[in-house]
């Protein structure tokens, strides 16, 4: 073979082996992270000063009833055995019964989580649609009044309490102007009419073809989602501005300007294109925070989501519901973070 002969491509088997190894590492890291989450929630359930037996049978139960329930819950077994049984139950969807609602916790989670998911999804859409352009505009006009206004809006998003923003929003846009509907997900007149398919009222109303219910649900949804979107907008705009300022100072951007490339092309094609990978992580983290951190908004707006459910469970010492909701929220964090990491690798070959 000549010394100048081209190096043959890697074999199909080698490339398949690399991809298989990547997938296996991805699955292993995800599984270990989830196992760590289960370990944390398990030990939290053991160290909190709440007796799970008393929470079930009450403090007036006889010693025989107490002991029987104690054994039924497996609390007489070694700790490692209890953890094994805990993991097994979680993996099979058995979170126990909720003392607050009297239903299995897994049914409650399936009932309440779609409401939070719907509100957080609308919120992150608002945050991305407004936050990314605001960050780009602020960086392109760094030091000007436009930049200062956007930075002040971002500061408000970081500093204003969520419950205060919710109360002011209700007072102004609901009670004062009448532009949006009040607390709750839907007017009581429409409650229970739409068949439950996804658990998200706006989506289910569209699937059912009922425009009136869709508009009513949207009217209830828009204000809490906009407030959540404002908080995510602040973080997304700030990070976008920071990424863009770094790119606009790079030599290739200066070269593009010297060559006479239009400012619009310099900003959106040359400077913005490379930061889209970084923004995936920022948006994913913001989305996870909205799904987890919407407790105060749900309380103010009487929104029957997972945050409201978790708060009620905490106040009533309902540990099965607390641990179930915590595991669900932690799982959402894991899924979003791992998905962001996967998209990062797809869009940026250097990270593979």
At 341, which CATH number? 1.10.3720.10
Query: Do both 290 and 324 map to the same domain?
Result: yes
The predicted-structure confidence for 288-298, as pLDDT tens digits, reads as follows 888 876 778 88
Same domain, 325 and 220: yes
Tokens of 228: 């959540």
Q: What is the pLDDT of residue 7?
A: 47
The answer to whether position 104 is within a domain reads no
Q: Check residue 2 and give its pLDDT.
A: 47
Report, as ranges of residue numbers, the positions in the chain whose pLDDT lies below 50: 1-3, 5, 7-8
With beta carbons less than 8 A apart as the criterion, state whether 312 and 100 touch. yes
189 and 324, same domain (yes or no): yes
Q: In terms of domains, do 144 and 80 share one? A: no
> What end-to-end distance do the CA atoms of the chain give, in Å?
33
State whether 32 and 159 are in the same domain.
Answer: no
What per-residue confidence (pLDDT) applies to 129? 92
- Eight-state DSSP code of residue 185: S
d(CA 133, CA 339): 24
Q: Which residue has the tokens 């919407």?
A: 294
SS3 104: strand
Q: What distances in angstroms separate CA 301 from CA 104, 181, 223, 224, 261, one per listed residue? A: 26, 10, 9, 7, 49
Write out the residue range of the structural domain in which residue 179 sits.
109-351
Residues sharing a CB contact under 8 Å with residue 234, sequence separation 6 or more, in sequence order: 131, 153, 154, 155, 156, 157, 158
Are 259 and 345 in the same domain?
Answer: yes
**pTM of the predicted model as reported, rounded to 2 decimal places:** 0.80
Measured distance CA(332)–CA(326) in Å, rounded:
10
Distance CA 71, CA 280 (A): 48
- Give the separation between CA 334 and CA 290, rounded to whole angstroms: 14
- How far is it, in rounded angstroms, from Cα 284 to Cα 124? 9
């Amino acid at each position: 073979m000549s010394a100048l002969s081209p190096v043959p491509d890697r074999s199909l088997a080698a490339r398949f082996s690399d991809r298989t190894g990547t997938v296996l590492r991805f699955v292993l890291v995800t599984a270990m992270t989830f196992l760590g989450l289960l370990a944390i929630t398990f030990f939290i359930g053991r160290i909190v000063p709440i007796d799970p037996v008393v929470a079930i049978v009450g403090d007036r139960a006889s010693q025989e009833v107490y002991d029987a329930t104690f054994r039924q819950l497996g609390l007489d077994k070694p700790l490692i055995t209890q953890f094994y049984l805990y993991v097994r139950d979680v993996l099979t969807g058995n979170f126990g019964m909720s003392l607050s609602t009297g239903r299995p916790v897994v049914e409650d989670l399936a009932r309440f989580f779609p409401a939070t998911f719907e509100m957080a999804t609308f919120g992150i859409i608002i945050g991305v649609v407004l936050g990314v352009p605001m960050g780009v505009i602020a960086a392109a006009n760094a030091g000007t009044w436009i930049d200062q206004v956007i930075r002040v809006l971002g500061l408000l998003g970081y500093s204003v309490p969520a419950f205060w923003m919710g109360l002011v929003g209700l007072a102004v846009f609901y009670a004062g102007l009448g532009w949006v509907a009040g607390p709750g997900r839907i007017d009581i007149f429409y409650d229970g009419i739409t068949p439950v398919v996804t658990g998200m009222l706006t989506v289910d109303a569209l699937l059912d073809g009922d425009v009136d219910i869709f508009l009513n649900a949207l009217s209830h949804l828009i204000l809490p989602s906009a407030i959540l979107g404002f908080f995510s907008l602040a973080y997304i705009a700030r990070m976008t501005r920071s990424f863009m300022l770094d790119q606009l100072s790079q030599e290739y951007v200066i070269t593009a300007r010297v060559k006479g490339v239009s400012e619009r092309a310099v900003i959106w094609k040359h400077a913005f294109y490379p930061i889209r990978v970084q923004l995936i992580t920022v948006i994913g983290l913001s989305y996870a925070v909205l799904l987890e951190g919407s407790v105060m908004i749900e309380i103010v707006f009487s929104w029957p989501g997972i945050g409201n459910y978790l708060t009620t469970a905490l106040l009533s010492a309902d540990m099965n519901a607390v641990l179930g909701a915590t595991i669900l929220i932690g799982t959402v964090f894991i899924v979003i973070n791992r998905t962001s990491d996967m998209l990062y690798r797809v869009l940026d070959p250097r990270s593979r």
